[in-house]
């Protein structure tokens, strides 16, 4: 599920942007060095099973999303709280769209205002995409257009994404821990942070830990941050929780995020909680393949 846009601290703390990745092109992953490719060939069996399970369920999209974002003071007390309920479905072009069912801020209903803002963002994004398509057409880059039109239903910021395994460095800890009532093996991992533009110099890395259930290979929990952190950020940590869904599926049930830093002389500390449910299978339109 990605992914956050790290242009500013304020942008990186908007967890809602993670959900936008369901309807926007997935960013390309940075190229992995030869040493990383060599290491990826010998993955632990349990990790490889988690990759297969993740890949099997990657085309499942949540139909309902409940999001809570809190701004905290220096002592961790809540200063402000925003809640949003979203519904996700296909639009007329076969793309996933999100609709705001209800939105509140500090107990006040702001549904109408948030729907207006969402419509403005969607309009600007459509204009940017139209401009990109025109540029591709003038250059004859039909192949690239096909790739950029593809969808990423599950988070791009995930170590089990099959498309980035060549760049994932895995550390076996042999640590057994109980997570969400399941006996798991903990792994450390890192990989180059996904980016639309080639990194200058040493690329930023996504670093974290993953807990995989013994016996089944089901990914249960993933925790990660970026190294180095985005400019202005003091701390950032995202946690993903997975569990069983309908028809034997294994899906993302909850995302948690906490970050702090400064932006234009303003200090911010943000905590987010997103619950996802009512998953359905997304089938990519033939025209975008």
- 1 has a pLDDT exceeding 70: no
Asked whether residue 192 is domain-assigned, the answer is yes
Asked whether residue 207 is domain-assigned, the answer is yes
Looking at residue 40, what is its pLDDT? 45
Asked whether residue 208 is domain-assigned, the answer is yes
DSSP letter string over 35-86? HHHHHHTT--HHHHHHHHHHHHTTTEEEEEEEEEEEEE-TTS-EEEEEEEEE
Angle at 96 between CA 92 and CA 99, to 5 degrees: 90
- pLDDT band with cut points at 50, 70 and 90 for residue 79: very high
User: Which run of H or E residues covers position 89?
Assistant: strand 78-90
If you average pLDDT over residues 145-166, what whole number do you get?
64
168: left (phi over 0), alpha (psi -120 to 50) or beta: beta
State in Å, rounded, how far the first CA of the chain is from the last one. 21
The token pair at 258 is: 């906490």
Buried b / exposed e across 213-227, counting CB within 10 Å, b at 16+? beeebbbbbbbbbbe
Asked whether residue 281 is domain-assigned, the answer is yes
* Contact call for residues 161 and 222 (beta carbons, < 8 A): no
* 178, β-bridge pairs: 183
- 206 has a pLDDT exceeding 90: yes
Asked whether residue 182 is domain-assigned, the answer is yes
Supply the pTM of this predicted model: 0.78
Name the pairing type of β-strands 96-105 and 233-244.
unpaired
* Contact call for residues 32 and 166 (beta carbons, < 8 A): yes
* Contact call for residues 270 and 280 (beta carbons, < 8 A): no
Lowest-confidence pick of 3-17, 123-137, 241-255 = 3-17
Asked whether residue 1 is domain-assigned, the answer is no
Q: What is the CA radius of gyration of the chain?
A: 19
Looking at residue 13, what is its pLDDT? 35
- pLDDT band with cut points at 50, 70 and 90 for residue 262: confident
The number of folded domains in the chain is 1
Lowest-confidence pick of 51-60, 177-186, 199-208 = 199-208
Can you tell me the distance from the alpha carbon of 223 to that of 219, in angstroms, rounded to the nearest whole number?
Answer: 11
**38 class by beta-carbon count within 10 Å (0-12 exposed, 13-18 middle, 19+ buried):** exposed
For residue 202, what is the DSSP state? Answer: S
Looking at residue 289, what is its pLDDT? 44
Buried b / exposed e across 89-105, counting CB within 10 Å, b at 16+? eeeeeebbebebeebbe
List Cβ<8 Å contacts ≥24 apart for 133-141. none
- 15 has a pLDDT exceeding 90: no
Residue labelled with tokens 């993953």: 210
The token pair at 148 is: 């950029």
Nearest Cα neighbor of 3 from 227, 156, 203 is 156
Can you tell me the distance from the alpha carbon of 84 to that of 114, in angstroms, rounded to the nearest whole number?
Answer: 9
Asked whether residue 4 is domain-assigned, the answer is no
Q: Which domain holds residue 101?
A: 9-288
Asked whether residue 68 is domain-assigned, the answer is yes
Looking at residue 259, what is its pLDDT? 94
Can you tell me the distance from the alpha carbon of 262 to that of 269, in angstroms, rounded to the nearest whole number?
Answer: 9
């Amino acid at each position: 599920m990605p992914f956050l846009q790290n242009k500013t601290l304020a942008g990186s703390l908007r967890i809602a942007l993670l959900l936008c990745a369901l309807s926007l092109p997935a960013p390309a992953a940075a190229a992995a060095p030869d040493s990383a490719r060599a290491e990826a060939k010998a993955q632990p069996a349990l990790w490889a099973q988690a990759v297969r399970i993740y890949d099997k369920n990657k085309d499942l999209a949540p139909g309902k999303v409940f999001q809570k974002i809190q701004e905290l003071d220096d002592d961790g007390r809540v200063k402000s709280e925003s809640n949003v309920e979203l519904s996700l479905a296909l639009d007329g072009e076969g793309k996933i769209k999100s609709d705001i069912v209800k939105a509140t801020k500090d107990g006040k209903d702001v549904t109408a205002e948030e729907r207006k803002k969402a419509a403005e963002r969607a309009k600007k994004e459509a204009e940017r995409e139209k401009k990109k398509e025109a540029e591709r057409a003038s250059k004859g880059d039909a192949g690239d257009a096909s790739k950029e039109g593809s969808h990423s239903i599950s988070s791009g910021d995930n170590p089990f994404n099959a498309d980035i395994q060549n760049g994932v460095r895995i550390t076996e800890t042999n640590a057994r821990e109980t997570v969400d009532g399941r006996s798991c093996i903990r792994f450390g991992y890192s990989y180059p942070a996904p980016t639309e533009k080639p990194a200058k110099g040493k690329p930023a890395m996504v670093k974290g830990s993953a807990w995989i259930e013994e016996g089944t290979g089901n990914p249960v929990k993933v925790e990660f941050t970026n190294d180095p952190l985005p400019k202005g950020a003091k701390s950032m940590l995202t946690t993903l929780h997975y569990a069983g869904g309908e028809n034997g599926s294994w899906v993302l049930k909850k995302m948690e995020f906490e970050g702090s830093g400064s932006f234009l002389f303003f200090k911010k500390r943000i905590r987010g909680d997103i619950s996802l449910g009512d998953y359905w299978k997304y089938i990519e339109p033939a025209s975008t393949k």
